[in-house]
């Protein structure tokens, strides 16, 4: 691409969630367009830009719209009806035209609606459209999640043709199919999943051998049921992946497959595609093979149960052999984990913060779920299987879809290094992997660990799918793909077919699929994040309604003239303390040192200070939560 000031550059606009501008993603160009320079472009649109100096660009033409429907709140202003978009990245309100489909009732102020936008090319005229769906009052139960579903164009139903195919399979595996497979039904096979897991892609068996270990990673043989070119395959490919919202799973495959025939449930015979990996006594791979198998899971464990067994506790309902199997598995997994980090893998994991809902679907509690040994056990075995399959396929002529994580841009790393220095974190050359590992280790236990780690992740490229096996930077692996979750990811299904010798496409087709899957994954990730954010806001609003706000430990992340930005690690929530709520004011901003200073006493609130806070206001429209200091 040309770097000349007047050269046209094509790319996709990714808007800042806090407003102010957008970054152009296209080829090697990463340009910034301030909001006044984005013309009629909206988030995700493919646009043509012109460079206007340095890293600045101006949008000259919208080539393709990412969306033509938008979700938001209905409001009337001076006799005109408007949609106030839910997406904070959209810097415009939409004028609502009369007409459109008939609705069950006239919309009222505060209703959530879906609008279909008319063609819009003049920045001096407001974007406009017609209401195509009335979702209900914003406060109605379930409307928040329905708004997310519509905003991200998620399909919650399957077509009749897809459902017919899914229902056509017999409950019992035919004897002729079992006869063609390696019989692993006598293996002591275990699954370990979250408490509320609906589908079970993977199961494991670890056995000690005379000179090492034998790991069997059994993965649901979805490819047996979902054949290329079928209605099921076309639908799975279109969806790309399952989406896990705060209140539901929107599956890639109908429940008949995802929660039944393909799910590796305890005590039921199931078809699997298995990676058999043999290790030496010190955890080095010495032999790998793959086979189509039939298995029967002996025990279904939750992570909490597995962790209890690892601690040597008795868990009701399980025979002693289950505990022995889990502890044996951890002996191998802990060695693999040690080898992985010694080889340069980066510890980029975060604890999961899960919102639990009551019987009415409202946010009831928030729980921080640490990545303990029970999670790490499964993670290491899945990584081992994914790498083994990638290595095997890479040495074949057939193309495939790989999971890649390209090396970071040195400029972005330097920007992060400067940010870290301001936070008092001494970092040298982050192009050296050992220095990145040292920096991540130094962060462990710091109050601002989560915030700084997030900033580091922003400096890295996003993991994507590609027909080229260029490696995975974060995991420090030359060969890597996704194989272990074919129930919920189409890329894994493709890997199963290629591994089995079923050539299901050429490189050009796989390149197109890879781009599509990277897009659907990002869409689902954004939808999941928004759904959780809404439920967290509901959780805090319920505390206000009950007049019983809970006190949280918060860390100051930045100081502004109008208040303090804070983060609450326990519930992975960001918020704001208005300067008007700080005691004994007035305060002035010391921007050079990122702090608010009391003009009378010289007391300062500064970045990384720890505070005790409770919620005082929830702004659902702006998606902001305000806090005040607890006494």
**CA 13 to centroid of chain Cα atoms:** 20
| Whether residue 588 has a cis bond before it, omega within 30° of 0 | no
Provide, rounded to the nearest whole percent, the portion of the chain with pLDDT above 70.
Answer: 97
Tens-digit pLDDT profile for residues 501-522: 987 678 899 999 999 999 999 9
pLDDT tens readout for residues 573-630: 999 999 999 999 899 999 888 899 999 999 999 988 999 999 999 998 788 999 999 9
Q: Which long-range contacts (CB under 8 A, 24 or more apart) does 593-596 make?
A: 594/422, 594/558, 594/559, 595/559, 596/559, 596/563, 596/564
Percent with pLDDT over 90 in the chain: 79
Mean pLDDT of the chain: 92
Q: Two tokens at 82?
A: 């408007």
Q: How far is CA 402 from CA 238, 466, 504, 627, in A?
A: 18, 5, 15, 44
pLDDT at site 29: 53
The Cα–Cα gap between 178 and 516 comes to 35
Kindly give the pairing relationship between strand 269-280 and strand 212-220: antiparallel
Residue 463 token pair: 């993991």
pLDDT of residue 15: 82
Measured CA to CA, the distance from residue 82 to residue 128 in angstroms comes to 9
9-38 average pLDDT score? 73
The pLDDT tens digits of the residues spanning 222-271 come to 999 999 999 999 999 999 999 999 999 999 999 999 999 999 999 999 99
Q: What is the mean pLDDT of residues 450-458?
A: 92
Per-residue pLDDT, 200: 94
Residue 26 CA to residue 541 CA, distance in Å, equals 41
Among candidates 616, 507, 599, which has minimal Cα distance to 561?
A: 599
Contact present, 294 and 272 (Cβ < 8 Å): yes
All domains of the chain in start order, with CATH: 8-64 (2.40.50.140), 72-140 (2.40.50), 160-407+464-534 (no CATH), 410-459 (no CATH), 549-629 (2.40.50.140)
Angle at 10 (CA atoms; ends 4, 16), nearest 5 degrees: 105
User: What number is the average pLDDT over the span 135-144?
Assistant: 93
Residue 514 belongs to what H/E stretch? helix 507-545
Cα separation, 107 vs 187, in Å, equals 60
Quick one: which of 191, 272, 222, 195 has its CA closest to 488? Answer: 222
Q: What do you get for the CA distance between the two ends of the chain, in Å?
A: 58
Q: Hey, what's the torsion of the CAs at 201, 207, 213, 215, to 10 degrees?
A: -10
Reduced to 3 states, what is the DSSP secondary structure of residue 84? Answer: strand
Q: What's the pLDDT band for 2 if we cut at 50, 70, 90?
A: very low
- DSSP element (H, E) containing 288: strand 285-296
The larger pLDDT score, comparing residue 492 to residue 411, is at 492
φ, ψ for residue 206, nearest 5 deg: -120, 125
Taking the CA atoms of residue 475, residue 477, residue 482 and residue 483 in that order, the dihedral angle to the nearest 10 degrees is: -120
pLDDT at residue 1, as a whole number: 41
In angstroms, what CA-CA distances link 493 with 232, 238, 261, 291, 438? 12, 13, 15, 15, 37
Q: What is the helix (H) or strand (E) element at residue 218, kind and residue range?
A: strand 212-220
Tokens of 507: 């490189």
* Burial zone of 144 (CB within 10 Å; 0-12 exposed, 13-18 middle, 19+ buried): buried
Give the mean model confidence (pLDDT) for residues 61-85.
Answer: 93
Q: Judge whether residue 290 has pLDDT over 50.
A: yes
Mean pLDDT, to the nearest integer, of 328-347?
A: 97
pLDDT of the residue at 36? 77
Model pLDDT, residue 28: 47
Name the residue among 23, 16, 18 with its Cα closest to residue 57. 23
What is the rounded average pLDDT of the residues 565-576?
Answer: 94
Residue 10, C-beta contacts closer than 8 angstroms, at least 6 positions apart: 26, 46, 47, 48, 49, 63
pLDDT at 435: 96
Residue bearing tokens 């300062």: 604
Average pLDDT, stretch 273-288? Answer: 97
pLDDT number for residue 102? 84
> Which residues neighbour 102 within 8 Å (Cβ) at sequence distance 6 or greater?
none
Residue 324 backbone phi and psi in degrees, to 5: -65, -40
Residue 146 has pLDDT above 70, yes or no: yes
Q: Which ranges in 423-506 belong to alpha helices (H)?
A: 433-443, 449-459, 490-499
Q: What is the pTM of this model?
A: 0.92
User: Once rounded to an integer, what is the mean pLDDT over residues 112-126?
Assistant: 94
* Rounded Cα distance, 490 and 156, in Å: 17
Check: CB of residue 69 under 8 Å from CB of residue 102.
no
């Amino acid at each position: 691409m040309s770097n000349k000031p007047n050269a046209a550059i094509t790319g996709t606009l990714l808007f800042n969630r806090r407003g102010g501008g957008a970054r152009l993603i296209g080829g090697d160009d990463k340009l910034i367009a301030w909001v006044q320079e984005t013309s009629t472009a909206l988030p995700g649109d493919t646009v043509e830009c012109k460079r206007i100096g340095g890293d600045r660009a101006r949008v000259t033409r919208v080539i393709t719209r990412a969306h033509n429907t938008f979700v938001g709140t209905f409001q009337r202003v001076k006799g005109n009806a408007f949609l106030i978009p839910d997406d904070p990245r959209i810097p415009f309100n939409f004028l609502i035209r009369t007409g459109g489909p008939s609705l069950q009732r006239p919309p009222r102020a505060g209703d959530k609606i879906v609008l279909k936008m008319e063609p819009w090319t003049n920045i001096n005229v407001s974007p406009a459209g017609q209401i195509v769906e009335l979702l209900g009052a914003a406060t109605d139960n379930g409307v928040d999640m329905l708004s997310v579903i519509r905003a991200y164009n998620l399909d919650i139903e399957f077509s009749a043709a897809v459902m017919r195919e899914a229902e056509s399979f017999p409950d019992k595996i035919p004897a002729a199919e079992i006869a063609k497979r390696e019989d692993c039904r006598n293996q002591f096979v275990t699954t370990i999943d979250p408490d509320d897991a609906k589908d079970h892609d993977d199961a494991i068996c670890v056995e000690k051998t005379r000179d090492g270990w034998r790991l069997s990673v059994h993965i649901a043989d979805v490819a047996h049921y979902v054949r290329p070119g079928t209605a099921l395959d076309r639908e799975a490919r279109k969806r790309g992946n399952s989406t896990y919202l705060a209140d539901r799973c929107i599956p890639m495959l109908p429940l008949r497959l995802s929660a039944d025939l393909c799910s590796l449930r305890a005590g039921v015979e199931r078809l699997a595609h298995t990676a058999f990996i043999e290790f030496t006594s010190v955890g080095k791979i010495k032999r790998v093979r793959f086979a189509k198998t039939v298995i029967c899971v002996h025990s279904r464990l939750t992570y909490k149960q597995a962790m209890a067994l690892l601690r040597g506790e008795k868990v009701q309902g399980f025979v002693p052999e289950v505990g022995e199997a889990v502890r044996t598995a951890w002996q191998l997994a802990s060695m693999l984990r040690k080898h992985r980090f010694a080889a340069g893998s980066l510890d980029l994991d975060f604890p999961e913060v899960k919102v639990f809902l009551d019987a009415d679907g409202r946010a009831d509690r928030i729980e921080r779920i640490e990545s303990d040994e029970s999670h790490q056990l499964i993670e290491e075995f899945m990584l081992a299987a994914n790498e083994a399959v990638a290595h095997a396929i890479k040495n074949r002529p057939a193309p495939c879809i790989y999971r890649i994580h390209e090396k970071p841009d040195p400029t972005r790393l330097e920007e992060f290094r400067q940010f870290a220095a301001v936070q008092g974190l001494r970092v040298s050359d982050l192009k050296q992997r050992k220095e990145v590992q040292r920096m991540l280790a130094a962060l462990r236990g710091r109050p601002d660990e989560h915030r700084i780690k997030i900033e580091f992740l922003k400096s890295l490229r996003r993991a994507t799918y590609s027909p080229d096996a260029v490696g995975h930077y974060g995991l420090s692996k030359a060969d890597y793909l996704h194989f272990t979750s074919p129930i919920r990811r189409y890329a894994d299904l493709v890997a199963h077919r290629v591994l089995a010798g079923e050539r299901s496409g050429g490189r050009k087709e796989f390149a197109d699929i890879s781009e599509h899957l990277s897009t659907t994954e990002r869409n689902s990730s954004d939808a999941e994040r928004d759904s959780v954010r809404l439920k967290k806001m509901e959780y805090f609003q319920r505390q206000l309604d009950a007049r019983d706000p809970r006190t949280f430990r918060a860390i100051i992340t930045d100081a502004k003239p109008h208040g303090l930005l804070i983060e609450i690690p326990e519930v992975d929530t960001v918020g704001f303390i208005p300067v008007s709520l700080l005691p004994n004011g007035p305060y002035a901003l010391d921007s050079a040192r990122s702090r608010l200073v009391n003009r009378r006493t010289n007391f300062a609130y500064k970045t990384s200070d720890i505070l005790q806070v409770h919620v005082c206001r929830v702004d659902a429209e702006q998606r902001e939560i305000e806090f005040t200091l607890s006494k």
